[in-house]
Amino acid sequence: MQSNRYHHLEWLHGIDFFEAAFSTQTFTRHAHEGFAIGAIAEGAGGYHCRGESMVLPAGSLSLMNPEEPHTGHAAAERVRYNMLYASETAVRAVLGVRSLRGFAEVAPRDRGFRLSQALARLAACLNSAPTADHRLAVEEAVHAVLAEAFAHYGRADLRRAGNEPAAIRAMLGLIAEGVAAGEPLNLTDMAAAVGLNPSYLIRSTVRATGLTPHGHVLRARLGHARRLLLDGAPAVEAAIGAGFCDQAHLIRQFRRHYGVTPGALIRH
């Protein structure tokens, strides 16, 4: 049984994401032009790489450097894994680093399953219904995968999150303006507008506020929807006016944030 999906992010440095789920498919000896960053989610995957055969059970990482030859197959009745492919240029651009040393181990232990979870969140994001801020959500999810992979397994020196109050205030202003105007927002444009690398902006925003830029966008859209509802707008109009893809999306997010559905919001 095969049920693979392949996502190509042309707008995000050509990064690819592969959701693999198969039992009989095999991959002959090959190599990827860029880095391959993956995790086995179910079953077991088999490789021949770096001169040895290995079996990677669920929970294992699979980290390969550019042009590293390997084979691949299901080493159990079925294997399911998520794999991100990114060129060296793409990784440097996303993380804001000048050089990369690569991965020393093909299958290191996933510390706290953080990288596996980051890959799973990226898969969920790519498969979710598109919203006004879909690209922003994907950008942050890709960043989370690359930052976890290269900071902990690729010996990359990421710039430490700093104190950037002026840049964060400017970003929040851009978010407020964009939400009020009903415009989509993305990380690349916001980072360029405040003069920071996107990766550094994410980490500095989290350090200062506890939320990512996307978290602030979502909060602003919910606040805008709440004001529209209190002004008497029907939920469907409030959803569209605040930048949600539909009323159901607003209801889900409204309940998560406020603890009630829009219909339970009562004005006195």
Can you tell me the mean pLDDT for 25-52? 92
Is position 22 within any domain?
Answer: yes
pLDDT at 129: 78
Domain final position from 115, 146, 180 = 115
Q: What is the pLDDT of residue 170?
A: 98
Q: Residue 236 sits in a domain of what CATH number?
A: 1.10.10.60
**182, pLDDT greater than 80:** yes
Q: Mean pLDDT throughout 43-55? A: 90
Domain count, the chain: 2
CA angle (199 as vertex; 19, 187 as ends), nearest 5: 80
Domain carrying residue 219: 165-264
Q: Let me know if residue 153 belongs to a domain.
A: no
As a whole number, the mean pLDDT across the chain is: 94
Same domain membership, residue 179 and residue 104: no
Same-domain status, 14 and 96: yes
Q: Per the domain annotation, does 121 fall within a domain?
A: no
Residue 132: per-residue pLDDT: 85
Are 77 and 173 within one domain? no
pLDDT of residue 52: 86
Chain segment 183-208, per-residue pLDDT in tens = 899 999 999 999 999 999 999 999 99
For the chain, percent of residues with pLDDT exceeding 90: 84
* Closest residue by Cα to residue 6 from 24, 19, 25, 22: 19
End position of a domain, from candidates 98, 115, 132: 115
Boundary (domain end) residue, out of 94, 115, 136: 115
Q: Which amino acid is at 149?
A: A
Buried b vs exposed e over 38-50: b needs ≥16 C-beta within 10 Å? Answer: bbbbebbbbbebe
Does residue 99 sit in the same domain as residue 183?
no
Query: What phi and psi values does residue 34 have, to the nearest 5 degrees?
Result: -115, -165
Share of the chain above pLDDT 70, in %: 99
Q: Do both 169 and 108 map to the same domain?
A: no
Q: Is the pLDDT of residue 3 over 90?
A: no
Inform me whether the pLDDT recorded for 86 exceeds 70.
Answer: yes
Q: Give residue 66's pLDDT.
A: 96
> Is a pLDDT exceeding 90 seen at residue 24?
no
Residues 13 and 102 in one domain: yes
**What pLDDT sits at residue 85?**
98
Tens digit of pLDDT for each residue in 91-140?
999 999 998 999 999 999 998 999 999 999 999 999 987 888 999 999 99
223 falls within a domain: yes
For residue 23, give the CATH number of its domain: 2.60.120.10
- Regarding whether 170 and 111 lie in a shared domain, the answer is no
pLDDT tens profile 243-255: 998 899 999 999 9
pTM assigned to the model = 0.90
Indicate whether 177 and 237 sit together in one domain.
Answer: yes
201 located within any domain:
yes
pLDDT of amino acid 15: 98
Mean pLDDT of 158-185: 94
Residue 131 within a domain: no
Is residue 174 domain-shared with residue 259, that is, in the same domain? yes
For residue 165, is pLDDT > 60? Answer: yes
| Residue 158 counted as domain residue | no
Shared-domain flag, residues 11 and 108: yes
110 shares its domain with 9: yes
Residue 37 lies in a domain: yes
Do residues 97 and 183 share a domain?
no
